[in-house]
Structure 1
Amino acid sequence: MNYYISDLHLLHKNCIGFDERPFADLEEMHETILANWNRKVTNSDTVYILGDATLYGKKEDAIALVARMKGKKVLVRGNHDHIDDYRYQQLYEEICDYKEIQDGIDGKQYHLVLFHYPIFSWKNMGHGTILLYGHTHDSMEDTYYQECLRKMAEEECSRHIYECRPQAYNVGCMKPWMNYEPRSLKEILSFREKDEAGK
């Protein structure tokens, strides 16, 4: 099973207030994220972390926390990810800046672009390829981004939109559909379907 998540911001005290995360302190946040993670993920699963796993400057603590997370971890680096410590690097199956993969749901294959940052054009965006991203947290910036993608499709202002509207999903851990745990592609798409049905 593949899972996805972004912007854990482990060891980043300011993110609790910035995101209005429902934790009294870092210890509570860490223990909740670890409990959610290890309850769901097995060591045969792969978790794609789309950036900002930990705060730079806390190497020993970062190594200790990430080492407790089950599964094969792939880090798609964000702006807070500094990986100069070899011991930290060894906790990941792969570290990259951008990744393209396929994932399946009930026998149907989906093409995915994995990137920390939201972008307006990605490979085959008009043919169903899905962008999973983070970085913008639960913010007005993210709301504007999603609104812009919607308008691009409605007004046919992009030469890259052909068969379907762009699909880009924020997998930041603080988003309501993520709720501080890694999610499968099926779970992520299911949330979008429910959200669309409620409009």
Structure 2
Amino acid sequence: MTRFLLSDTHFDDEEVLSYTDRPFASVAEMNRTLTENWNRVVESDDEVIFVGDFAEPSEPTTVRRWLGRLNGDITFVAGDHDAGVRRGYAVTTQSAFEFETGGHRFYCVHDPEAAPPDFDGWVVHGHHHDIRPETYPFIDPSARRVNVSVELLGYEPVAVSELVGYLDAGERLERRPPSGDSGA
């Protein structure tokens, strides 16, 4: 089993194309690419910690439809666009999720401002997409934050083991390097 991280897919959301730098001509192309990329890297027995903003509308039927198309066991950390995920009973949601691996502690929360200010590990978040990469890059060692918005990950989940390689290298990265090169 491999554990992955990802946020801000915004399946079916036309508005996300206008306020992010997503390279898709249509919502259908975005949905298809996100689904294909997810299922190419995630196996059925893998875990995906999804850090908020899954689909629009976030109604139970929409959420269940998308869940049926995606591989893996999904742990949901609710985002600000996930009201339907929270009330849909298709999946259990949490406001945050913590875990440790590779000598690092992680606190997963959609909006990094909602993380405890005294948390001494890495805050894994979404919410900011690729809108302010100077403030919310993929990896910010000085703030101990990791932004797993799809735009910064090449539109696919990132394996936690790959992420640990980047963290161990200690460099600030605006985006995930292509082809999973951890630089380590």
Tell me the TM-score normalised to structure 2 length. Answer: 0.79
Q: Which whole-Å deviations, capped at 9, do the CAs of 1:82-127 have from their partners, x for residues lacking one? A: 23687x433x3x310111112x3xxx332110100113744542xx
User: Are the structure 2 counterparts of residues 143 and 118 from structure 1 closer, same or farther at C-alpha, using a change threshold of 3 Å?
Assistant: farther
User: Are the structure 2 counterparts of residues 197 and 67 from structure 1 closer, same or farther at C-alpha, using a change threshold of 3 Å?
Assistant: closer
User: Are the structure 2 counterparts of residues 84 and 24 from structure 1 closer, same or farther at C-alpha, using a change threshold of 3 Å?
Assistant: closer
Query: Which position in structure 2 is the counterpart of 1:168?
Result: 145
Query: Which position in structure 1 is the counterpart of 2:99?
Result: 101
2:46–2:72 contact (8 Å) kept in structure 1:
yes
Long gaps (5+) in structure 2: 175-184
Identity of matched residues, %: 23
1:11–1:58 contact (8 Å) kept in structure 2:
no
More helix as a share of residues: 1
1:25 maps onto 2:26 in alignment: yes
Partner Cα distance (2:20, 2:44) in 1: 30
2:10–2:56 contact (8 Å) kept in structure 1:
yes
Q: What aligned pairs does 1:5-16 form with structure 2 within 5 A after superposition?
A: 5-16=6-17
Query: Which position in structure 1 is the counterpart of 2:80?
Result: 79
Output the amino acid matched with 1:89: Y
Structure possessing the higher radius of gyration over alpha carbons: 1
Aligned residues: 169
Where 1:116 maps in the other structure, the secondary structure is coil
Could you tell me how far 1:53 is from its partner in structure 2?
0.6
Could you tell me how far 1:189 is from its partner in structure 2?
4.3
Query: Which position in structure 2 is the counterpart of 1:37?
Result: 38
Where 1:23 maps in the other structure, the secondary structure is coil
1:3–1:182 contact (8 Å) kept in structure 2:
yes
Query: Which position in structure 2 is the counterpart of 1:186?
Result: 161
Q: What aligned pairs does 1:46-65 form with structure 2 within 5 A after superposition?
A: 46-56=47-57, 59-65=60-66
